[in-house]
Amino acid sequence: MDLTQRLAFCKKCEKRTFDPNKGIVCSLSQRKPDFISNCTDFIIDPKEASKIAAKSYAAQSVPQEESSSNPIWGIIGVILIVIKLLFYFGRN
């Protein structure tokens, strides 16, 4: 497990704290995580775990919504421009 994976693990722990010089550290040791595969002192923080899960879900669903709505707005824009041109040239 590399440091990035360990920090992702620590972000969900109740015993995490933030050091302005080091970033996320353990409140027990005041150090960056150095465990190999699992931390023996890990206690899940339910609020933070649900926030991370919600962000992950939102990140997966947003690109699908954006890609499906963009062509619709483009088509509506073209139709409005054509209607405006018809009214403009229809007056003359």
User: Which pLDDT score is estimated for 20?
Assistant: 94
Kindly tell me the sign of the dihedral angle through the C-alpha atoms of 42, 47, 48, 52.
positive
Range of the domain at 30: 1-48
pTM: 0.53
More confident residue, 58 or 16: 16
44 and 61 assigned to the same domain:
no
What's the domain count of the chain? Answer: 2
User: Which pLDDT score is estimated for 8?
Assistant: 87
| Pairwise CA distance, residues 88 & 90, whole Å | 6
| Pairwise CA distance, residues 53 & 40, whole Å | 23
- Span 19-76, pLDDT tens digits: 999 999 999 999 999 888 888 899 988 888 888 888 887 777 655 555 556 778 888 9
User: Residue 28's closest CA among 44, 40, 37?
Assistant: 40
| Pairwise CA distance, residues 40 & 19, whole Å | 21
User: Which pLDDT score is estimated for 69?
Assistant: 60
User: Which pLDDT score is estimated for 89?
Assistant: 86
- Tokens 């960056």 correspond to 32
43 and 68 assigned to the same domain:
no
43 and 4 assigned to the same domain:
yes
